[in-house]
Amino acid sequence: MSERLKGKVAVVTGASKGIGASIAKHLADEGAAVVVNYASSKAGADRVVAEITGKGGTAIAVQADLAQEAQIRRLFAVAREVFGRLDILVNNAGVYEFTRLEDVTAEHFHRQFNLNVLGLILASREAVKHFGTAGGSIINISSVAATAPVATASVYSATKAAVDAVTKALAKELGPRQIRVNSINPGMVETEGLHAAGIPGSDFRKQVEAQTPLGRIGQPQDIAPAAAFLASDDARWITGETLHIAGGYR
């Protein structure tokens, strides 16, 4: 087990499955104490915590809907109460819903923007209150959809373009406080959500793979090591960046 993040405390939102779960486990492997946030899947979050603690790591599961401001505040209050500090925030919680323009509704728009953008901003605001004088690292999970949108993903792609803009703006605003802000922009990654959407066996997947130089879609463990790097002092002079991890897909 590496000690690169020893003594650090991380909050990972939406960490009960998929990319968030993999990031939580990687941060713990690097020595961080991890708050595994979940909105509804307590069983999933408990499994992630059990896997971390089973390997000698430190983690707790905390329920909070990142689309609800009061619950965001409670998440960080619990993290501070249990671990006494905060050094890393991974804004991974998000939702995606593809639909044709004629079917776009205000509800469809707000469901995605309230979590993917507003929730991310409010979580960052709370984290900054708890970071110490040494600063901290905020890692936003964006998407290649921010710069390479696909049909029927107008609203989702717009949320991720917003995340990239927020990343750059906050990097400039928070830099004087030694708080670094970067985003990771994954390509298509095989997660529970992807399976629930029926994408793994679809023509859409085959099309994406055909346009990906490395010839496959990603796995959660392809993304997580980059988050651990950006959270660490190895990335101490990196801020405001968007790191595409997509097998070369553009």
For 101-128, what is the mean pLDDT?
98
Within a domain: 24: yes
The 10s digit of each residue's pLDDT in 33-78 is: 999 999 999 999 999 999 999 999 999 999 999 999 999 999 999 9
Within a domain: 248: no
Reported pTM: 0.97
CATH number of the domain that residue 163 is part of: 3.40.50.720
Within a domain: 65: yes
Residue from 38, 96, 156, 249 carrying the catalytic annotation:
156
For 98-118, what is the mean pLDDT?
97
pLDDT on residue 200: 81
Sign of CA dihedral 51, 56, 62, 67: negative
In terms of Cβ atoms closer than 10 Å to its own Cβ (0-12, 13-18, 19+), residue 168 is middle
The 10s digit of each residue's pLDDT in 154-197 is: 999 999 999 999 999 999 999 999 999 999 999 999 998 888 88
Please tell me whether residue 73 adopts helix, strand or coil conformation.
Answer: helix
Residue 75 is part of which domain span?
Answer: 9-243
Within a domain: 46: yes
Distance CA 138, CA 122 (A): 12
Helical (H) or strand (E) element with 130: helix 120-130
Within a domain: 48: yes
Within a domain: 90: yes
Please tell me whether residue 132 adopts helix, strand or coil conformation.
Answer: strand
Within a domain: 230: yes
Instruction: Indicate the pLDDT class of residue 1, thresholds 50, 70 and 90.
Output: low
Within a domain: 250: no
Give the chain's domain count: 1
pLDDT on residue 198: 81
Cβ proximity of 5 and 27 under 8 Å: yes
38 is known as an active-site residue = no
Is it the case that residue 2 has pLDDT exceeding 80?
Answer: no
